Structure 1
Amino acid sequence: MTKLELSLALRTNPRVQALVDDPHAIEGVRLRTSLLPPADTFWRQLNFQDFDISEMSLASLTRLRLQGDDTWVALPVFPDRRFFHAAVVVRADSDVRTPADLRGKRIGVADYSMTGAVWARGVLQHDHDLHPSSMTWFQERTTRLSHGGATSFRPPEDVEVVQIGPDDSQRRMFAEGRLEASILFITYKTMLDRSTGSMDEANVRLLFPDDDAEKARAFGTWGFLPFNHCMVVRRSLVEAHPWLLLNIYKGFLDAKTTHLAALQEAVRLHREVGLVPASGSTDVDLFPYGLRANAHGLDTLSRFFHEQGITPSSFTVRELFDDRFASL
């Protein structure tokens, strides 16, 4: 059988590495893979539809679908997860010690509508009583070079979002004392961001000094690691090749299974020599794929989208995904 030659764009991580390493990992497909920062992948897909398969922002994909654009079919493959609120940074010399101290402050953000920022604001609101309207937001990405600009996002009326000028940046505003904090300070290079680089160089520190303890607390409260991206495939390809969608899903699932098997073996060996407590469990899959295992996370993200003006209340994130995943 002649294989489909398809392009793939994503940021690598251990759960997808086996697929990245093998261009034939998806049955019936030969992949041409580009390893890109998520911000660049999303912007290129939103503006130019450059790749057949890619990682995609759930907020941006939702915005597209609400505008009637169904170029992409979403797969319930969530390649990256974290508690984004635990990465909030403040000026190193700031007197901000708790989330409550951020009320009335000037907060930087790369792209106000980005999914990671939605998760961070949602947890801060529900767990720490810090509503987005209680702060002034400064967005670094311009309308032309942003996901919000590509999807015509406008912030809700009760939230003030100020555009940082093209010759300014979050990093400079921190240095000059014009910002108190930043939500999702992006350290790696992208085409869209001007403040990349280490946090130490920017003279900032984490809002939660013991961020591991805060992540453990949040996991105990919410019961899952928040996800901000899914995988998408060009709809015209799925319509022309009905077998393709589930083959792609299986390819990503197999790659994750390969990683988890290696991880379990490493943990077993560490237990044998006493470096990992025998009581510690690694049986919980913190990166589940499929709709059923992610129902709570999808419903929570839908609620945060509604509350923060990303979507109307009539829309749920589950609607993004093809019916073939309903039972998975």
Structure 2
Amino acid sequence: MACQAYDRIEPLRTGEVRVAGAQLNFLDLPVEETFFRMLRFAEFDIAEMSLSTYVLTLAKGAPFVAVPVFPSRAFRHSAVYVRRDSPITDPADLAGGTVGVPEYQITAAVWVRGILAEHYGLPVESVRYRTGGLDTPGREEKLELSLPPAIDVRPIGKKETLSRLLLDGALDAVYSARNPGPFNTPDGGGLRRLFPDPEAAERGYHDRTGIFPIMHTLVLRRDVYERHRWLARELVKACERAKAAALSGLGETAALRYGLPWLWAEVERTRAALGEEWWPYGFEPNRATLDTFLRYSHAQGLAERRYEPEELFAPETLEEVIV
């Protein structure tokens, strides 16, 4: 199993939580490495995978089968960067402009484009997209794309980076799940986020929609799944137990489990805003979020058709077992 050792996954890595009937050889890898190796070489039996990438593989022979476990979720209003001196103050101002994205198909970019189109009046096709490495040259799309003519996507130069092009004025904005390197300096390196208070924008978005965007899912290689159909459900059960173990001590006040003095207060704020089960696994609690993402993927020229959420996952994981 290749997956970043998030707190909600860590008990699987340590063996505190086991997958019934299996022994895990857990590889704690950066997400980009896991995605690349699984897509190019199918090296792992189980792997974390970009939700967008997984959806695109369904039309390319469906080599993987997902389970409704979502190790990575993130709001993405905070993922839009412009130059500090840019006149752009509203997403609609980007119409007619040029935006950098590491890859057109990455999940974070799908969410950003969909949210800006649906909620801020910036049609997807009104922007030119340039793809490449954020701070290191040479990144390419992991999958070959066949996009409508109205959507303009081209790679940047082999020695160029999105961060540098943004600072130099060749790009009007960058959509990136990671902070551009210059932004990590104390003064922001000449960059700023487009949304001046992204947390407020993200909380407002959740209040309106109920959506906490899904970034990644877990997949099994199809040949492994077809040999061991039972593994899909057992993996979901183990991940549920691992998540429960990880999150159980977040709000502890007697002896702080983590090195953040007011983490308990953040837990209370999160619970008030998102509910008691703020990081749900399983199909039904995530149906609306998945349906929105699939609508965005198709509308942006990525998915060949509008998939239904049920089509994404092993059928064994879609129904509750009544005992």
Common fold by TM > 0.5: yes
In structure 2, relative to structure 1, the CA distance for the partners of 1:159 and 1:16 (3 Å cut) is same
Alignment of 1:204 onto 2:204: no
TM-score by length of 2: 0.86
Stretches of 4+ aligned residues off by more than 6 angstroms:
none
**Using the alignment, how far apart are the partners of 2:29 and 2:214 within structure 1?**
18
Equivalent of 1:56 in 37, 49, 74:
49
C-alpha distance 139-287 of structure 1, shift in aligned 2 (>3 A): same
Instruction: Supply the AA of the counterpart residue of 1:116.
Output: A
Verify the 8 A CA contact 1:298 1:318 in the aligned structure 2.
Answer: no
- Given candidates 195, 211, 226, the residue that maps to 2:213 is 226
Which among 193, 201, 212 is matched to residue 214 of structure 1? 201
Please name the residue that 1:285 is paired with. Answer: 277
Aligned to 2:243: 256
- The 1-side partners of 2:119 and 2:42 are apart by 38
> Secondary structure in 2 aligned to 1:78?
strand
**Match among 237, 261, 264 for residue 224 of structure 2:** 237
Q: Which moved further from structure 2: 253-262 or 196-205?
A: 196-205
1:318 Cα offset (Å) = 2.9
Contact 2:287 2:309 in 1 (8 A): no
2:180 aligned with 1:183, yes or no? Answer: no
| Closer, same or farther: CA 181–29 of 1 in aligned 2, 3 Å | same
Residues 85 and 121, structure 1, Cα contact 8 Å, conserved in 2: no
CA contact (8 A) 1:288 1:294 kept: yes
CA-CA distance at 1:126 after TM superposition: 0.7
How many residues are aligned here? Answer: 307
Does 2:148 match 1:156?
Answer: yes
CA distance in 2 between counterparts of 1:278 and 1:186 reads: 24
Q: Give the alignment of 1:29-68 within 5 angstroms.
A: 29-67=22-60
What SS does the aligned partner of 2:248 have? helix
Structure 1 length as normaliser, TM-score? 0.85
CA apart distance, 1:49 = 0.6
The CA deviation at 1:175 is: 2.7
Does residue 103 of the first structure (1) align with residue 90 of the second (2)? no
CA deviations 1:168-195 (Å, max 9, x no partner) are 11122123221121001534xxxxxxx6
Aligned residue type for 2:167: A
Match of 1:28 in 2: 21
